[in-house]
Structure formats: structure tokens, C-alpha cells
A = this chain, B = another copy of it.
Amino acid sequence: MTTQELVAQIHKKQSFLCIGLDTDLEKIPAFLLEEEDPIFAFNKAIIDATHDLCVSYKPNIAFYEAYGVQGWSALRKTIKYLNKEYPEIFTIADAKRGDIGNTSTRYAKAFFEDLNFDSITIAPYMGRDSVEPFLQFKDKHTILLALTSNQGAFDFQIKKVDGNELYKEVLSVSTTYEGAENLMYVVGATKAEYLKEIREIVPESFLLVPGVGAQGGSLEDVCKYGMTKGVGLLINSSRGIIYASNQEDFASAARINAKKLQVSMEKELERLN
């Protein structure tokens, strides 16, 4: 999917919501465990109930890997279902991978070709030759971890590197990578005030923003500092939507919470008029 197509979807749906499919057998409604593939059954119900309110789904790969071959198979069914039924959806493999050249190419093929995701999250620690292999795929997007929303972000990301915070160094060095036009960035919403400076380094890039709501960030602040003329934001919510209820009504409860966010986003999009 091209960035232009993503932006068009955002305007059409009046939403820049990404729903995180962090599907956990211990948290989904118990009655689903009787299904042949409970993970896929849960995902399918959530997707069917929310697809018109969001522009993106983001399975966190850890949750699938934890269930081995069964989890991997559920992931495959989920992405195939999305690609077939809702091809307008921007799909994100939240894998946080990062390895050397040849190995990165393997990961890129696994997620971009075999599973046909539109994008993948990547850790920056190993530098240029661990990222560039992902950037060579046409109309595929690499979402680099810059500033994450967890407490551990303080360990290294905000430390000064040659006078500049490490996450800013990641942003600015990565803009020199070959294929940098295919980069997006993860920026935690718990630090919305940082978005102003981030926009000085990457004025147009899409930012994937976790941590709005449950983790404490404000949608209004994120949009105030982070929105561009081309929107430039995907706001992720996972648990707040998919675990809105663990009863029979889980899908409609998820829809209600997704709708609340979509309505707030519609209001924020008025900034662009």
C-alpha cells in the first residue's frame, strides 16, 4: 500500500486508528476456547466489528510466536483474512526485528512477501545494514523504533549521544538510509511534548503512536504537536479496544471503544481543513 492510499483511507474513514491484535488466550472470552482456532476466531470477530472505524491492524508477533506452530498458523489466517476481506486496511507486523543484511532480507521476505504485511516494526540498534534491506521493497513500510512508551526507554533512548538524545540520532541518521522514503517511526505518546522536536527532524513521516489512553498520553496533545498536512499519524490502541469485554458481547464492546476513538479523531482531523 502506498502512503497516499493510507492517507486517502484516513480521510474516507475519518480515522487514523490502528488496533493492536495482542491476542492472548488467557484474556479472550472463555467460550472462544472451544473453537478450533480460538486466536483466529477472536481476531476475525474483532476485525469484522471494527474495520470501518480504523485504518490499520497491528498483530504483535510475540503473542503468536508464544503459541508456536498453532500461533503462527493463526497469524497467517488473520493476515490472509485481512488481505482478502479488507484490502484497504494497512497491516503492521509488530515484530521489532533487527539483524544483519542477509538475515534482515529473510525477515523482510517472511513478513512482506510470504505473509504480505504492508509494514513491519524494526529495532534500530544494529544500524544501517540491518534496516536498509527492508527499505528496498516497493510500497512496503518499515517502522523504526525511535522513542518507545515504556519505562525502559529512559535507559538508552533519551540519553545524549554527541549532544543529542539517542532517539533523535536514530531519527536523523535513518533519514540518510537508502530507501528512507519508506520509513515510519514508533514514537510513544507518553512524551507528546517531544513531538514538536521530532517533527523538526522528520517533518512529513508517518508516526505510529502507542500509549494513548491506557498508558497515559492525550490524543489532543499528540495531534497538536505531531499532525502534518498529510496527517502523518497512526494512533494505536490494543487492550483498551480488544479486551473491552470478556463476555459474549466482546466484539460489540470493542466496537463501542473504537468508535469513541474514531469520533475524537474525526474532530482532530478538522485541523486540516
Could you list which residues of chain A lie within 8 angstroms of chain B, going by C-beta atoms? 22, 60, 62-63, 65-69, 72-73, 76, 96-101, 103-104, 106-107, 109-110, 114-115, 123-131, 145, 148-157, 159-162, 166, 169-170, 173
Contacts and interface: CB of A to CB of B under 8 A. Distances in A.
A201 B89 CA distance: 48
B127 A153 contact: yes
A156 B125 contact: yes
Contacts of A22: 103
Integer count of this chain's copies in the complex: 2
A150 B100 contact: yes
A127 B155 contact: yes
Contact of A123 (B67, B73, B125): B125
A125 B150 contact: no
A128 B60 CA distance: 20
Most buried by B among A96, A151, A152: A152
B162 A150 contact: no
Given A152-B127, A152-B129, A103 B62 contact: yes
B107 A65 contact: yes
A200 to B, nearest CB: 20
Contact of A161 (B148, B152, B159): B159
Contact of A60 (B62, B99, B124): B99
B173 A156 contact: yes
10 contacts: A65-B110, A66-B110, A67-B110, A68-B110, A68-B115, A96-B123, A124-B155, A126-B145, A156-B173, A159-B169
A128 to B, nearest CB: 4
A66 B127 contact: no
A162 B162 contact: no
